[in-house]
A and B are shown apart, each in its own frame.
Chain A
Amino acid sequence: MRLVSFLSLFLAFFTLQFATADPSHTNNWAVLVCTSRFWFNYRHMANVLSMYRTVKRLGIPDSQIILMLSDDVACNSRNLFPGSVFNNQDRALDLYGESVEVDYKGYEVTVENFIRLLTDRWGEEQPKSKRLLTDENSNIFIYMTGHGGADFLKFQDAEEIASQDIADAFAQMHEKKRYNEIFFMIDTCQANTMYSKFYSPNVLAVGSSKLDESSYSHHSDVEVGVAVIDRFTYYTLDFMENIAKNSSLSLQDLFDSYTFEKVHSHVGVRTDLYKRDPSEVLVTDFFGSVKHIVKDTHNQENDFRAFYGSTDGQDNYAEHIVNLAIDKSKNSPSESPKVASVGKANLMKSEKSVVTFDKSKGNNMWTAAVPFSLLIAAFALAMGTKGQKNV
């Protein structure tokens, strides 16, 4: 009984710790990666484009979304609907319809480029739009889909990335303070193995299937002729469609929505590296970009006074940084009238700026300081000479 109460107290303590963790972040980024080529992998492109649409809808700007699409099914000659990609057989939503900014396409989607993207190791020639310019205040959502196996994910049918590679890239990002938190989501066969090697803090991961388990597609479109979306992504999107910017649903709600009946595989969640409790993390902390907008509380009347003062002339001159800058620009430093010889102080004394000493405080401190002044003087001199020597 005691043990139980002790354990519950222990748990309660830890829950409290999680709840009070600092969730501050000021910007959101998304990295969406489709790693497989060819027409029959249509669904992987559709997966990623659906995610792209969702994060954009929730406010992450295109400049903060890195979209890696390894093939262009929209323009594939087998596509019965040229220029369109659909993720449902009702074809209600054209994922390629609105402006889609693909950052890495076709053969640019390589393991090397992906690692470079995460670690931001590029040559001078790399444009800013294709870089992950995150900082310590960034929350990053990383979504990957393709064909994978135990501890690897295939890129382009030509190479593969190991789970250890991603873990090491995250470690480098953490070392250089390139993220606040990462939410890693992967939809591939044996997906849960891909996050098994992570060791950097503040990473939350979810995968579609466990070791030795396949991930399945959801359904095919007869006219498109291939499967159009994967199960795990389909049910993720199903959940996300109910999310608006002001949604209070948490990531735990998202995780709870996955069931074996729906996904047909065991969805895995890794939370041991993550400080916060997923039930206290808003979905929009990663999928959206919610800015903290506050009213400006500084005294704007002073701005107006300063502006009108500057136009009326010097009589109503009010202290303002713009007025000061204008004054300074009028007087070039060499001709400055402020250059004054010793003994001829050029005062700019206004009643407001003069501060009177708090005599009582000053006297008290002074009386306390007097008996020690000689000692302090000797000490300071000794320190001074010592300091100079060190220098």
Chain B
Amino acid sequence: MSQLYLRRVVALWFGAVFALVGVPLWYKLTTIYRAPLPGTYISSLRENMHSDVHLVVPVYVRSDTYKFPDVHEAIQLQADALLQSKPRAVNWSLQILQAEKNQVLDPESDYVLTLTLDDFTGYSIAYDSKETIVFFDDTAVVSNDIPFFAAQTLIEHTFGTEWTHLSLDSSDQNDQGNRGLGKSSEMAISYAPKVHLSLSLLTGDGRPVAWNIESTLNQYFTPLRQFLSPLINFTVDTSILHFNDLNLGSLHDIQDPSWQDLAHSIDLSELSSLNHYREKNAINLAIVFPSPEAGQLGFVNATEDRPWQSFMVPQWGALVVNKEALPDNSRLTQDYLAPVIYSFACELFQFLGLSNEKADLSTPYITIDSFKRVTTLKNLEHGIETMWSLIKLTDQFPQMAVPKQVLSDVEQAISLRLKAVELLNDPKRGDEATWNEALHLSNSFVEVCERAFFHKEMVQQNFFPQEHKIAVYLPFLGPIFVIILTGLLKTLRENNDDDEDEVEEKQVKISDSPADETEQLDEKTHDSSLTKE
């Protein structure tokens, strides 16, 4: 009796450990951790893109000649009316403020609108500051035209970039899928806060050549780098490559090559070594001299001052192709290199998406500032799209792990976005530092979103068919499960069999015991009497 009990207890313990410890442990160890991402919030952000953004740019009005005490209010009304006339992808408006007495305005930091009396009406946007001057004559004052002129100038010209980029075209309205802020040109690289610049001097032969690139860059390019630093930080490297004229020698017979001729002949593969740099994007500038053997390059449209012609490769960089080969032991001086840098600077603005094909950069200060705002908004859009993709993929692949780090990144991203939006919406802040900070926050936002999306642990073989699961688990769990189950069943079944065995055992016991002999005899008699009956 005690043995059976013991066996049963042991079997039950095995079963209990298997069921209560083993199964939960197995479940715990094989369950994929999926952090709860705020999917509803992100999808509502995406559906109502920029709905919580109302970009407000303060503009200070000052008047040189006349005092207009309420002109800012009138301009505000006109500006608002003009903005309302066109549907916008993002809410934005101007906050027209009257410059207070003795208030020092810095046109390099704040937007300043100056009203100047002249003998004609017109406007001028400063090249080196954020000042807009509206000229008016006495007739305009009499007919009360100034507020309208000022509003029109501000919105269509000073804030022309916003006016174009943040408005919805009629074609966009019909296309529900195209809700973005507009695609940049073919030439422009995608925006990144850090860009690498690779400058190379290539010669078709191995003759020694040198260039004063460092002093030229220090004098002409470093100021530009610093000027653009709030928007984009550049890292620069320079190199000289011998025996590489990008295969231009093969073109020396052709007078007017088409882009296909150039594209099929020029071999940029050796220069496209993007992966040596940490930065995501790189822009190249290659100054190429043919080898003397290849001879003059007929297609290069060179002038007396300019012995080279510049070509542009979309999202790659610029090629400065020289007509003549370099003489022996040449050194390229600043006189040669500086104009190249001047020309490249204009191209650089195209590669960065700051100017169009004609390199129209008449108002760099304002263009760069507007670019910051548009980029901030594009970044916000881009980050939300990334988070939305993350949510979609985690829903689509239930086998994919979602680590805690991803959740914390998403939370951080959301808070960064709110900070950036708060900054953009603040009507009292609108100096250069504000836009820089907003851009910086939006860059961090994009970075955190990308980090969340590309988390290292969110990869595995997503597809794991049922038969594979059986193939993996059966050899391991099969034997243990079968032994425990059958063992348990056996001990439970032993119940009836053991009772019979026990009776038999008892009988055998009795027959073997001399002490119970009489009793045994009595029973036998009783049995025989029964048999007799």
Residues of A within 8 A of B (CB): 24, 26-27, 56, 59-64, 111-112, 115-116, 119-123, 127-129, 131, 133, 135, 137, 161-162, 164-165, 168, 171-172, 175-176, 244-246, 289-300, 303-304, 306-307, 319-322, 324-329, 333, 336, 338-343, 345-349, 353-357, 359, 362-363, 365-366, 369, 372-373, 376-377, 379-380, 383-384, 387-388, 390-391
Contacts and interface: CB of A to CB of B under 8 A. Distances in A.
A122 B454 contact: yes
Given A357-B149, A369-B148, A345 B319 contact: no
A292 B259 CA distance: 7
B311 A307 contact: no
B20 interface: no
Q: Rank and list the top 5 A-B pairs by shortest CB-CB distance, nearest first.
A: A298-B359, A380-B80, A164-B463, A61-B269, A325-B227
Given A26-B314, A129-B275, 12 more contacts: A63-B274, A115-B459, A172-B393, A292-B263, A292-B313, A322-B223, A325-B226, A325-B228, A342-B102, A354-B135, A357-B123, A365-B148
Interface string B266-294: 11111011111110100000000000000
B466 interface: no
Contacts, number: 297
A175 B392 contact: yes
A354 B268 CA distance: 43
Given A133-B274, A355-B122, A342 B99 contact: yes
Contact of A290 (B99, B264, B364, B459): B264
A24 B102 CA distance: 56
Contact of B190 (A128, A135, A246): A135
B226 A329 contact: yes
6 contacts: A289-B269, A321-B345, A321-B361, A353-B124, A354-B122, A384-B80
B364 A298 contact: no
Interface residues on chain B, size class? 35 or more
Given A340-B105, A365-B148, A377-B77, A115 B461 contact: yes
B21 interface: no
A359 B444 CA distance: 46
B84 A376 contact: yes
B315 interface: yes
B314 A336 contact: no
B478 interface: no
A353 B345 contact: no
Interface of B: 52, 54, 62-64, 76-78, 80-81, 84, 91, 93, 99-108, 114, 116, 120-129, 131, 133, 135, 143, 145, 148-149, 152, 157, 186, 190, 219-224, 226-228, 259-260, 262-270, 272-278, 280, 305-306, 309-316, 318-319, 338-339, 341-343, 345-347, 349-350, 357-359, 361-362, 364, 386, 389, 392-393, 396-397, 425, 427, 453-456, 458-463, 465
A304 B305 contact: yes
Contact of B463 (A162, A245, A341): A162
A61 B127 contact: no
Given A303-B339, A369-B78, A345 B114 contact: yes
A200 to B, nearest CB: 12
Contact of B125 (A24, A119, A339, A353): A353
Given A175-B392, A291-B268, A387-B54, A339 B104 contact: yes
Quick one: which of A129, A162, A357 has the most chain B CB within 10 A? A357
A22 to B, nearest CB: 11
A307 B106 contact: no
Contacts of B103: 341-342
A328 B108 CA distance: 10
B91 to A, nearest CB: 7
Contacts of B114: 345, 347
Contacts of B99: 342
A161 B465 CA distance: 12
A121 B454 contact: yes
Contacts of B107: 338, 340, 346
A325 B264 CA distance: 37
A59 B357 CA distance: 27
A341 B100 CA distance: 10
Contacts of B274: 63, 128, 133
Nearest to B453: A176
Given A347-B133, A377-B77, A293 B152 contact: no
Given A63-B275, A296-B347, A342-B105, A121 B339 contact: no
Contact of A112 (B78, B314, B364, B459): B459
Nearest to B396: A171
Contacts of B463: 162, 164-165, 168
B471 to A, nearest CB: 12
A64 B116 contact: no
B84 A380 contact: yes
B101 A349 contact: no
A346 B64 CA distance: 11
Contacts of A60: 269
Nearest to B468: A162
